[in-house]
C-alpha cells in the first residue's frame, strides 16, 4: 500500500541573520508529487498570558498551533485551535488560511472517554469519521504484565546510568484509524511517523494530526518547552 509518510522533526531554537527567531519544528512529507509540499513548519500559538498561560491550559488537554509554509512565517497554511478540553476529553479544529474548516479531531483519554485505550477520532468535511485507538489490546496486556519488571529496570538505570531503557518502558503507541472498513491513517511508534494511506486526506489535516500526536508524547512533547 503506497502512502505519504509524515515525520515531525523538532530542532533547537534557530535564528536568522538579523537575530530573529525562526520556526524550528517541521513536518516533512515523503511524497510531495501531489498538492502536499515537501514540508511545513509548526509552532505553538501563545495566548495573551504567554508561555505560562499556554502551559497551564495544555494541562487540561488544550493545544494551539500555527502551520507555516516557511520557517520565517511568511505564509500561514493552517491553524489548530481547541474547541473544548477537560475531564480527559479534548476537541480540536483545523482551519485553513482563510478560516475554512479543514477537519476536526477528538481525543478521549483512556478510562475518561469510551474505552480502556485513548481514542482518537478524525473527521474531514464530506467524509466519514475515522476512529483509532492507541496501542493494540494484546500489547497493552503484555505491557501491564511486565510493568513491575520495567519499573525495576528503570530504577536500576537511575543508579548505573544505563542507556536505552526509555523505549523498553514506553507504553504502546501505535494507532490505526478505521473508516468504512478502510485504514486511511496509521501512526507508527517506530520513528513517530504518520502514514496517510487514503489519497483524499487533506495534507494540512495530516500535518496538524502528527503535530497533535507528538504534543501528547509523554516526556518529549515538543510544545511543552518553557521558552
User: What pLDDT was estimated at residue 175?
Assistant: 94
Nearest residue to 94 (alpha-carbon basis) of 130, 73, 65, 71: 65
Average pLDDT, 10 consecutive residues per value, the chain (227 residues) = 89 70 94 90 96 96 97 96 96 98 95 78 96 72 54 48 47 86 93 94 98 91 91
Q: Phi, psi (5° rounding) for residue 145? A: -65, -35
* CA dist 63 → 105, 149, 171, 191 (Å): 12, 34, 22, 23
Distance separating alpha carbons of residues 67 and 179, to the nearest angstrom: 26
Instruction: Extract the C-alpha cell encoding 165.
Output: 531503557
Distance separating alpha carbons of residues 185 and 70, to the nearest angstrom: 25
Collapsing DSSP to helix, strand or coil, 26 comes out as strand
Amino acid at each position: 500500500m503506497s502512502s505519504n509518510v509524515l515525520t515531525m522533526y523538532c530542532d533547537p531554537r534557530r535564528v536568522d541573520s538579523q537575530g530573529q527567531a525562526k520556526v524550528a519544528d517541521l513536518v516533512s512529507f515523503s511524497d510531495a508529487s501531489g498538492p502536499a509540499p515537501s514540508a511545513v513548519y509548526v509552532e505553538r500559538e501563545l495566548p495573551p498570558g504567554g508561555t505560562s498561560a499556554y502551559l497551564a491550559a495544555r494541562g487540561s488537554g488544550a493545544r494551539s498551533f500555527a502551520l507555516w509554509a516557511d520557517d520565517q512565517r511568511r505564509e500561514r497554511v493552517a491553524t489548530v485551535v481547541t474547541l473544548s478540553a477537560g475531564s480527559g476529553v479534548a476537541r480540536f479544529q483545523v482551519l485553513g488560511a482563510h478560516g475554512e474548516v479543514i477537519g476536526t479531531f477528538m481525543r478521549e483519554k483512556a478510562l475518561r472517554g469510551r474505552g480502556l485505550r485513548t481514542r482518537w477520532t478524525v473527521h474531514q468535511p464530506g467524509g466519514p469519521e475515522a476512529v483509532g485507538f492507541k496501542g493494540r489490546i494484546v500489547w497493552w496486556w503484555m505491557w501491564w504484565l511486565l510493568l513491575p519488571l520495567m519499573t525495576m529496570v528503570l530504577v536500576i538505570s537511575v543508579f548505573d546510568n544505563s542507556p536505552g531503557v526509555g523505549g523498553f518502558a514506553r507504553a504502546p503507541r501505535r494507532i490505526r484509524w478505521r473508516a468504512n472498513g478502510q485504514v486511511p491513517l496509521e501512526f507508527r511508534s517506530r520513528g513517530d511517523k504518520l502514514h496517510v494511506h487514503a489519497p483524499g486526506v487533506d495534507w494540512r489535516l495530516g500535518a496538524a494530526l502528527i503535530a497533535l500526536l507528538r504534543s501528547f508524547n509523554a516526556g518529549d512533547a515538543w510544545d511543552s518547552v518553557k521558552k
